[in-house]
């Protein structure tokens, strides 16, 4: 007897989650990039929360890939992805143009040998700005940014532009290419309005956005999970380290919790 569609969907999701528990081992190239002497001590200290080896292995990143990082921010993953792809692949840092690229530009100016080959692109892209060519990327990754698009960050009207962002990501990937997403996880039972002001976002929301853009869900990993994070802080995710929005108020409490509970999702462009 044919199973109802909702049963089939649940079974498929469960299979993807189970399959993702068998995480691939990080390659020697990934391990070497994480151990690069050019990484800063402050960033190294956060490896315990961000698990770069396991995360990049789960997303299937190879040194020969064309890799796009959406919104590299302060350059935490730039310190890993630039040496990983140097001389073998291509690494795009795609950020709000042009101010969002200032940190990566500063890294290039300070250490051209390590970061000089990093390509800069606009994201979201508008006419006349440099872009990642359509159909060129093997892997696109974004770390803790989808909630910003949902919140309308850097938009005067604070309008949600997450659907536009996923459509642009879909365009830049090759067929068969991978989208990797890490973000602060909002419990499914929480109010949807929390996605507009807390920095957390639901797994179901990211899946809806990605699948709406044409992506297929591949699987999820719990490598960046933190069960100590209840995701209900009055000051949002910024209450926790590394931001510590409350400064010294209950700092030891939040330090003991650690950084946020994060989803790690993998999608494929068919």
Query: What was the pLDDT predicted at 48?
Result: 97
Round the average pLDDT of the chain to a whole number and report it: 93
Query: What was the pLDDT predicted at 24?
Result: 87
Given a cut of 70, whether residue 89 has pLDDT beyond it is yes
**What mean pLDDT do residues 13-33 have?**
71
pTM given for the model: 0.91
User: Whats the size of the chain, residue-wise?
Assistant: 270
**What mean pLDDT do residues 93-119 have?**
97
Percent residues over pLDDT 70 in the chain: 92
Please write the tens of the pLDDT for every residue from 203-243.
Answer: 999 999 999 999 999 999 999 999 999 999 999 999 999 99
Q: What is the CA radius of gyration of the chain?
A: 18
Given a cut of 50, whether residue 257 has pLDDT beyond it is yes
Exposure class string for 17-38: b at 16+ Cβ within 10 A, else e: eeebeebeebbebbeebbeeee
Local confidence band at 9 (pLDDT 50, 70, 90 cut-offs): very low
Q: Measuring CA to CA, how many Å separate 52 from each of 8, 34, 226, 231?
A: 33, 7, 15, 22
- CB atoms inside a 10 Å sphere around CB 111: 13
């Amino acid at each position: 007897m044919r199973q109802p569609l909702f049963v089939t969907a649940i079974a498929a999701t469960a299979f993807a989650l189970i399959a993702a528990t068998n995480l691939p081992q990080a390659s020697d190239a990934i391990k070497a990039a994480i151990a690069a002497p050019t990484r800063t001590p402050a960033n190294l200290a956060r490896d315990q929360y961000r698990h770069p080896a396991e995360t990049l292995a789960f997303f299937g990143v190879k040194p020969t890939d064309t890799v796009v990082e959406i919104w590299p921010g302060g350059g935490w993953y730039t310190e890993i992805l630039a040496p990983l792809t140097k001389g073998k692949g291509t690494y795009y840092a795609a950020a709000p143009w042009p101010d969002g690229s200032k940190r990566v530009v500063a890294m290039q100016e300070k250490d051209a040998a390590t970061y000089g080959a990093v390509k800069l692109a606009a994201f979201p892209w508008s006419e006349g700005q440099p872009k990642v060519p359509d159909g060129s990327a093997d892997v696109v990754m974004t770390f803790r940014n989808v909630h910003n698009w949902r919140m309308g960050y850097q938009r005067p009207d604070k309008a949600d532009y997450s659907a536009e962002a996923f459509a642009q990501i879909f365009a830049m990937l090759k067929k068969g290419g991978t989208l990797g997403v890490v973000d602060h996880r909002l419990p499914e039972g929480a109010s949807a309005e929390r996605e507009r002001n807390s920095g957390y976002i639901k797994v179901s929301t990211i899946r809806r956005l990605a699948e709406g853009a044409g992506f297929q869900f591949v699987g999820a990993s719990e490598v960046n999970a933190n069960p100590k994070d209840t995701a209900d802080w009055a000051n949002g995710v910024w209450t926790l380290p590394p931001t510590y929005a409350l400064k010294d108020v209950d700092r030891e409490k939040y330090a003991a919790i650690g950084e946020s509970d994060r989803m790690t999702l993998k999608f494929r462009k068919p």
